[in-house]
Amino acid sequence: MTRERRRFNSSERVALFLTGAGVCAGCGVELEPGWHADHQEPWSAGGATDVMNGQALCPPCNLTKGNRHVKLRRWQEDGMRAFVASRKDFLAVATPGAGKTTFGLLAYQSLVELGEARRLVVVAPTSHLRKQWAKAAAKVGIQLDADFANRDGVSARDYDGVVTTYQSVAASPLTWERIACNKTFPTLVILDEVHHAGDAETLSWGTALETAFAGAQRRLLLSGTPFRTDQRPIPFVQYDVTRRAVPDINYDYGAALQDREVVRPVAFPAMDGEARWRFASDEKLNAQRLSETDSNTHAAALKAALDPAGNWIPSVLQRANDELALMREDVPDMGGLVVARDQAAAQAYAEILRQGTGEPVSVAISDDPAASKVIDRYAEGTSRWIVAVQMVSEGVDIPRLGVVVYASNVRTEMFFRQVVGRCVRKRGPEDETCARVFVPSITPILRMAADIEKTVDAVLADEEQRIQRDQGEDGGEGTTRKPSSVEVLGSSVAVHPFTIASGNAFADAELQRARQVMREAGIPMSVEASAFARALRLAGAFPEQKTEEPAETRPLVEEKAEIRNLVQRKVGQLSKITRRPHGHIHADLNRECGEASIKVATVPSLKQRLVYLDRWLKDTRR
């Protein structure tokens, strides 16, 4: 609850506005709605709430006054003007590290100054984020009760509001309706990472939020990924005719990267290798490189590769640890995060890292009641690695993270961007680090890595369409077999064919040569080598290699098998897009090529099938 007489009343605000001639007493800009009536001698230090101790300030000047030292970014200033002028619901999309929390707290202060709010309710995805919100609020003079429970009913009078979780609201929406819809204490409700509002097997969370907060004075929705792969609508979010969320202010990773002040660049070492498995429905041994899998085999191959008993994931962890060691030469507290598919895998990965580094490894899993403390200790410490399932996928602030191993089976744009967001936050203007995210070399993840610098709007429509077509078991792009029907048989040591940076692929040999040049020039290893590899490439240091003709003619059977394999992959791609059975597409090819089946096709006919498939794929993508 807001403290008595901390705020200037309406008549006092008018007096301060007129006395200051309608301009900010700090910087002289013309005051706009949402300006702050400020105590010259701080209220917390005993300053009176009186016009003789007051002055009219714009929000940026007020937040930088005294010991708060909050410098507003341009998007926050633009967003605040739009928020004050808006009516009920406001959606702010911002990348991790851009200052969503600061924006939310500033929004509350502006409403208090306007007399439109006297209480703040923040809803966050996890208990850990409750504490982060309370700490951030205290720094700007707002006191939030992070220990409030539904059974408490009311909070102490010396709090300005409470911070809770989506689970708590869903458990007792009527309790929160009474808190947030009290006309005596008009309330701003902030829904942090609002895409969680549609979680769970049913729409119960979304329904509960609507019950609890439909009557609130104002609602502010915050998110870095304002869309859901299951197509469920998010409460209080406005959509356009194509069912895309419409933000009122948008400052995602693609936009922030252009400013070079908020986020780091990120490179994606793509790790390939062979995975081996068998489906329960047959005895056939399947062995494929990750880079050669399709929508029917992505999930099975990834399950085999991520099995800690195989060779692939241990070798990836070793490679990532070597990379982290290089970065720690320049930034001694640089840390790494492994995002695992489940808790058992998380524990196994942690043990692999312990044996490889000889150091303790933090493990944060939701079943551990001390998980928040584990994350806090890691964030404040200097140890190398932390392993988690989803607790560190979004919202958690660990600025020293610079390396991530994406060892999750989830293949959706939203989750992938959330994970990448954990390591892109800049630690200051002198931070020149390029983050590294090690990813399995399967098509859906490589595509998302290549698109990471695009704004959310640029990929949102394609992602939603893909999910509608391809969503299957195991959170991925669709598979004809459930993951539980897969028997893992092993995996090879990972190989590193290339790294994706700024949407371009750089061979490992190029990056190694670039690093050699960097060492000779005294450039820190925390800087990504791809920029130097690009310069060497342009300088002709890596001329295109000509392929020599083989000494002996290839057997016809091998040539046909290779072309048929490519035909099958393209048929799979077309089937995924058009949702037509493979057999129907093959029938069309047989008819066009005048042959009974692909088995009796000649080499020219097989190549002609590729021509038809490329044409059909191009037509379907228009």
Query: Tens of pLDDT along 45-80?
Result: 677 888 888 898 887 777 655 444 456 788 888 888
- pLDDT for the residue 544: 44
- pLDDT for the residue 572: 79
For residue 602, give both structure tokens. 């000649």
Q: Which CATH superfamily is domain 72-251 in?
A: P-loop containing nucleotide triphosphate hydrolases (3.40.50.300)
- Beta-strand pair 495-501/266-272: antiparallel
Q: What percent of the chain has pLDDT over 90?
A: 25
- pLDDT for the residue 422: 82
Q: Hey, which bits of 139-186 come out as E strands? A: 144-145, 161-165
Check whether 569 has a pLDDT greater than 90: no
- pLDDT for the residue 201: 42
- pLDDT for the residue 283: 66
Is the pLDDT higher at 457 or at 295?
Answer: 295
Contact between 206 and 105 (Cβ < 8 Å): no
Check whether 243 has a pLDDT greater than 70: no
- pLDDT for the residue 546: 40
Check whether 254 has a pLDDT greater than 50: yes
Could you tell me which CATH number the domain at 260-538 has? 3.40.50.300
Q: What is the mean pLDDT of the chain?
A: 80
Q: What is the mean pLDDT of residues 384-397?
A: 75
Check whether 112 has a pLDDT greater than 60: yes
Phi, psi of 16 (to 5 degrees): -65, -40
Q: How far apart are the first and last CA of the chain?
A: 56
- pLDDT for the residue 421: 82
Length of the chain in terms of residues written: 622
Contact between 147 and 228 (Cβ < 8 Å): no
- Tell me, rounded to whole angstroms, the distance of Cα 575 from its chain centroid: 30
The angle, 0 to 180 degrees and rounded to 10, between the axes of the packed helices 582-593 and 556-578 is 120
Phi, psi of 7 (to 5 degrees): -100, 145
Check whether 461 has a pLDDT greater than 60: no
Q: Alpha helices of 340-426 — where are they, by DSSP H? A: 343-357, 371-380, 413-420
Q: Which residues, other chains included, contact 501 with Cβ-Cβ below 8 Å and sequence gap of 6+?
A: 265, 266, 267, 268, 434, 528, 530, 531
- pLDDT for the residue 549: 38
Is the pLDDT higher at 338 or at 1?
Answer: 338
Check whether 467 has a pLDDT greater than 50: no
For the chain, what are the domain ranges?
1-71, 72-251, 260-538, 556-620
- pLDDT for the residue 145: 93
For residue 354, give both structure tokens. 């312990």
Q: Is 169 left (phi over 0), alpha (psi -120 to 50) or beta?
A: alpha
CATH topology of domain 1-71: His-Me finger endonuclease fold (3.40.1800)
Report pTM.
0.61
- pLDDT for the residue 423: 83
Query: Tens of pLDDT along 431-441?
Result: 778 889 999 99
- pLDDT for the residue 357: 93
Of the candidate ranges 207-216, 449-458, 501-510, 586-595, the one whose mean pLDDT is the lowest = 449-458
Contact between 195 and 234 (Cβ < 8 Å): yes
Alpha carbons 622 and 618: distance in angstroms, whole number: 7
* Topology agreement, domain 1-71 and domain 260-538: no
Q: What is the mean pLDDT of residues 258-267?
A: 76
User: Of 67, 132, 131, 147, which Cα lies nearest the Cα of 102?
Assistant: 132
